[in-house]
Amino acid sequence: MARRSTASVFARAYERNLKALTKLTLRNSQRVAGQVQRATAKRLKPPPGKGDWLSGMAIGPGGARRYHLFRPADLHLQPGEKLPLMVMLHGCGQTGRDFAASTRMNALAARQRFLVLYPEQDRLAHPQGCWNWYERRSGKADAEAATLMAAVDQACMLYPVDRERVALAGLSAGASMAALLATRYPQRFRAVVMHSGVAPGAAKSSATALGAMRGQNVPPMPVTAVGKAMGAAAVLATLPPMLVLHGDADAVVVPSNAVNSAAVWATAMGARPGVAREVQRGKRRPMRVTDFKRKGRTVVSLCEIAGLGHAWSGGASKLMFSDAAGPDATRMAWAFAMTQFRHAAKAA
């Protein structure tokens, strides 16, 4: 029998390898496509809460940003009735849906009859999904804040929102962006909640933001310095009341930021600190609470939570940036907002 040529042997081996590589590539492509499909399905799947998970997009100076609005089921609104709105700004590495699932704000909204808006950062604007609250020098932060306000305005136009009862809450980068929004548009919000964020005015670039997160360059700052840093000196006197929540075991954003956030906001509002008190609800983590009052009214409340890391206190278990053992920050945020709504209504 004639011997096969060397070229023929190599050709057959090449064909076998090519077929094997093609099969492997197809399997990997199918696996990756499946992962993308599952991730997309998860992202589009409504978070827990009986109601509608409505999609939208707002366009502003910072570009386009997606958002979702949660509308409780079976509202049965009276003619002309308007509902409060809670604006929720997620942290780095999260989506709006992640934040909704972690905080369980939708379940509370369904019981208490209010709307919840979840703007979402675009990964092209920040690869980790962080809000660019610190980019003051470049103007990127203010442009992004204006785009977020476009989302709020759109929600107010499309849904039955009571413009006099809008509150703002955020975690980490979302908390810092919430503070920026409140200084840029103080008359649009009745309350602001900072959870594990960097102190207002402590950074104006990416380099200074990292330093502020680590506790650098954030000594107690006079209100004039904060006003200059944030470009909002003219409106500091009209700031909305603030609730500050922070874990004393936070290794990402050091706890000194919470103390500075409360001190800066209180100084701006002409409030003085009361005596700190220890509070513990059931078996949840204890917290040290300091209220800052002006004319007998609490306008800033600082809650330092024992043993809490960089996570939403009292959030859903087994989720990132969520600690089920802490006091319920969701309930605290809404209770604080409700109190401010009542005060505003009496003053009107």
The answer as to whether 21 is a domain residue is: no
pLDDT at 35 over 90: no
The answer as to whether 286 is a domain residue is: yes
| CA 211/CA 275 separation, integer angstroms | 30
The first and second tokens of residue 2, run together, are 């004639």
> 266: domain range?
45-73+81-347
| CA 12/CA 193 separation, integer angstroms | 68
The answer as to whether 31 is a domain residue is: no
pLDDT at 4 over 60: no
Q: Residue 332, class by beta-carbon neighbours within 10 Å (0-12 exposed, 13-18 middle, 19+ buried)?
A: buried
The listed range with the strongest mean pLDDT (257-261, 293-297, 329-333) is 329-333
> In the prediction, which pLDDT does 172 show?
97
pLDDT at 56 over 90: yes
| CA 311/CA 314 separation, integer angstroms | 9
| CA 238/CA 183 separation, integer angstroms | 9
- Where on the phi/psi map is residue 336: left (φ > 0), alpha (ψ -120 to 50), or beta? alpha
> In the prediction, which pLDDT does 46 show?
76
The answer as to whether 133 is a domain residue is: yes
pLDDT at 232 over 50: no
7-21, 141-155, 181-195: which has the minimum mean pLDDT?
7-21
Question: Are the CB atoms for 120 and 147 separated by under 8 Å?
Answer: no
Q: Residue 65, class by beta-carbon neighbours within 10 Å (0-12 exposed, 13-18 middle, 19+ buried)?
A: buried
> In the prediction, which pLDDT does 206 show?
86
Question: Are the CB atoms for 268 and 200 separated by under 8 Å?
Answer: no
**pLDDT top residue among 211 and 156:** 156
pLDDT at 218 over 90: no
Question: Are the CB atoms for 162 and 124 separated by under 8 Å?
Answer: no
**pLDDT over 70 for what percent of the chain?**
87
Averaged over 322-329, what is the pLDDT? 96
13-17, 61-65, 325-329: which has the minimum mean pLDDT?
13-17
The answer as to whether 173 is a domain residue is: yes
Averaged over 99-125, what is the pLDDT? 96
The answer as to whether 204 is a domain residue is: yes
> In the prediction, which pLDDT does 10 show?
72
What H or E segment, with its residue span, contains residue 158? helix 140-158
The answer as to whether 165 is a domain residue is: yes
**What SS3 state is found at 58?**
strand
Q: Helix axis angle, 223-230 relative to 173-184, nearest 10°?
A: 90
Model confidence at 36, pLDDT cuts 50, 70, 90, reads: very low
Strands of the chain, DSSP E: 51-60, 63-72, 83-89, 115-119, 161-171, 191-195, 242-247, 272-273, 277-279, 287-294, 297-305, 312-313, 322-323
Model confidence at 229, pLDDT cuts 50, 70, 90, reads: very low
Model confidence at 228, pLDDT cuts 50, 70, 90, reads: low
Tell me the pLDDT of the chain averaged across its residues: 88
> In the prediction, which pLDDT does 237 show?
58
Q: What is the CATH number of the domain that holds 170?
A: 3.40.50.1820
19-33, 55-69, 155-169, 291-305: which has the minimum mean pLDDT?
19-33
**What SS3 state is found at 56?**
strand
pLDDT in tens, 280-323: 988 899 999 999 999 999 999 999 999 999 999 999 998 999 99
> In the prediction, which pLDDT does 49 show?
72
The tally of domains found in the chain comes to: 1
> In the prediction, which pLDDT does 48 show?
72
pLDDT in tens, 156-192: 999 999 999 999 999 999 999 999 999 999 999 999 9
| CA 181/CA 306 separation, integer angstroms | 28
Averaged over 241-267, what is the pLDDT? 94
The first and second tokens of residue 306, run together, are 């024992």
The answer as to whether 294 is a domain residue is: yes
Q: How far apart are the first and last CA of the chain?
A: 105
